[in-house]
Structure 1
Amino acid sequence: MNEQQFIEALKEKGIELTDTQIAQFNKYFELLVEWNEKMNLTAITDLEGVYLKHFYDSISASFYFDFTQVTTVCDVGAGAGFPSLPIKICFPHLHITIVDSLNKRITFLNHLSEELGLENVSFVHSRAEDFGQNSKYREQFDVVTARAVARLSVLSELCLPLAKQGGYFVALKAAAGSEELKDAKKAIATLGASLKEEFAFHLPVEESERSLYVFDKIKATPKKYPRKPGLPNKTPIQ
């Protein structure tokens, strides 16, 4: 997917990019490739791959979840900024908080946001388990999102404690999403959420399968969650 195909594909979905937004995506691509030579941010560095598998794939969440109706978004383990920063470029009103456990990725994100002129973005160097127990962030966000971080049974424990009651957890998954959902049912209920909607679709061009799950945060998460760093991954809630 080249830049023009990307612009057209978004237009078909009702997102018309301004010249400023087009330039921001262009700069994002350039900085991603440049910094990737110094640190491992992504295995995908060709323009067509980045525009399809990072930019378009991230924004696809907005085809199924209405980001115009929310303000605060927390992105857990965003790495090089996916999915929240492409969404932020398309919906500039959003206040984005990214938490990531690797400080060098936070350094990249700070530089990137300055170069792109992004406002109302903050980047926090922390393990998601510790971050979720921090009263400054716990149950503070309208939406919590994550893409390709961990299995849903683990991911829900990292994300749901951050969503406010009445808020949402939006999980972007590949083809194995339905299997993960079965395994995660107990965890999702325990953490105070219920499945609101699920969507299956294909990325254009390569036709790879994608799943998107939207969970409603219906009650407060018990204080013991998330557990200590490493525990959710080692022994997921069953």
Structure 2
Amino acid sequence: MISTRDILTSGLEELGLIIKPEQIDLFEKFMDLMLDWNEKINLTAITEPYEVITKHFIDSVTPLAYAEKYELDLSSVLDLGTGGGFPGVPLKIIRPKISVLLADSLKKRIKYLELVIKELGLKDISVYHGRAEEMGQDPKFREKFTNVFSRAVAEMNILVEYCLPLVKVGGMFVALKGPDLEDELNQAKRAIKLLGGEIVGVECFDLPLINDSRTLVFIKKVNPTPGKYPRRPGKPKKNPL
């Protein structure tokens, strides 16, 4: 039977990333916590350990393979709509020095994430309970992050209204998406420009070890977001830009 250590090491090597033994230990503890809590609250439909490692852990850190190409400044990272802690917790484990904020609208998930942070002994990582639309209009958070990541949250024309208001001018919004994104991106072009963004890269690839197709969209914040965005809670989803 292939070990967690072997799966993580070989998968991350394909991305050009190196993992230390103590980081593997953190991933194993994270998986145990997630699967335990998944019996209490809905965190993931993926529960088989090999798939957790490949489809959650390795998938979450794929943007790091392109960090140099897109000059990602990881000094202040927001994971918006983090759910079970993805991609924020795996990013923090692999890059311990980055500052991470995990944001989610469900209080039960926030409670779980607080426990994950405590049990894993992670530093400079915190949680926020609330909606993206409220967060984007809060001066404490608006245009404060060098990087905003979001994974499997919404279609792009909705997602950019959630995320771009939170990105500093000069920073980057990175969307972790599945395959066949062309139509979705075309529908989002107007919203991206309106909110101050510019698509600087679209990376299509297969996940290491399992060959599931993924897409990363890199959107640079080139202009401030107009003050009326994001609109009130529920409006972006009901009436996308």
TM range (shorter): over 0.9
Q: Which of 137, 151, 155 is residue 141 of structure 2 equivalent to? A: 137
Q: Which of 14, 17, 20 is residue 15 of structure 1 equivalent to? A: 17
| Distance (Å, rounded) in 2 between the aligned partners of 1:69 and 1:183 | 28
User: Given the alignment of the two structures, is residue 33 of structure 1 paired with residue 35 of structure 2, yes or no?
Assistant: yes
Q: Is the Cα–Cα contact under 8 Å of residues 75 and 146 in structure 1 kept in the other structure?
A: yes
Letter of the structure 2 residue corresponding to residue 6 of structure 1: L
The C-alpha deviation readout for 1:57-91, integer Å capped at 9, x for no partner, is: 11112112348742100111010110111011100
| Distance (Å, rounded) in 2 between the aligned partners of 1:92 and 1:119 | 8
Q: Is the Cα–Cα contact under 8 Å of residues 2 and 48 in structure 1 kept in the other structure?
A: no
Residue 234 and residue 147 in structure 1: after superposition, are their counterparts in 2 closer, same or farther (change >3 A)? same
Q: Which of 175, 178, 182 is residue 174 of structure 1 equivalent to? A: 178
User: Given the alignment of the two structures, is residue 212 of structure 1 paired with residue 216 of structure 2, yes or no?
Assistant: yes
Structure 1 counterpart SS, 2:103: strand
Point out where structure 1 has 5 or more consecutive residues left out of the alignment. none
Give the TM-score, by structure 1 length: 0.96
Which residue of the partner structure matches residue 200 of structure 1?
A: 204
Higher mean alpha-carbon deviation, 122-131 vs 63-72, is at 63-72
User: Given the alignment of the two structures, is residue 188 of structure 1 paired with residue 173 of structure 2, yes or no?
Assistant: no
Size of the aligned set, in residue pairs, is: 237
Could you tell me how far 1:2 is from its partner in structure 2? Answer: 4.9
For residues 67-216 of structure 1, the aligned pairs below 5 Å read 69-216=73-220
Structure 1 counterpart SS, 2:201: strand
Letter of the structure 2 residue corresponding to residue 5 of structure 1: I
Letter of the structure 1 residue corresponding to residue 23 of structure 2: Q
Moved over 4 A (4+): none
| Distance (Å, rounded) in 2 between the aligned partners of 1:118 and 1:151 | 31
Q: Is the Cα–Cα contact under 8 Å of residues 26 and 93 in structure 2 kept in the other structure?
A: yes
| Distance (Å, rounded) in 2 between the aligned partners of 1:235 and 1:88 | 34
Identity of aligned residues (%): 43
Letter of the structure 2 residue corresponding to residue 25 of structure 1: F
Letter of the structure 2 residue corresponding to residue 39 of structure 1: I
Structure 2 counterpart SS, 1:168: strand
Give the TM-score, by structure 2 length: 0.95
The C-alpha deviation readout for 1:29-51, integer Å capped at 9, x for no partner, is: 00000000111100111110100
Point out where structure 2 has 5 or more consecutive residues left out of the alignment. none
| Distance (Å, rounded) in 1 between the aligned partners of 2:94 and 2:72 | 10
Could you tell me how far 1:141 is from its partner in structure 2? Answer: 0.2
| Distance (Å, rounded) in 2 between the aligned partners of 1:150 and 1:95 | 24
| Distance (Å, rounded) in 2 between the aligned partners of 1:55 and 1:143 | 19
| Distance (Å, rounded) in 2 between the aligned partners of 1:13 and 1:187 | 31
For residues 38-57 of structure 1, the aligned pairs below 5 Å read 38-57=40-59
Q: Is the Cα–Cα contact under 8 Å of residues 79 and 149 in structure 2 kept in the other structure?
A: yes
Letter of the structure 2 residue corresponding to residue 11 of structure 1: E
Higher mean alpha-carbon deviation, 13-22 vs 34-43, is at 13-22
Could you tell me how far 1:20 is from its partner in structure 2? Answer: 1.2
Letter of the structure 1 residue corresponding to residue 12 of structure 2: L
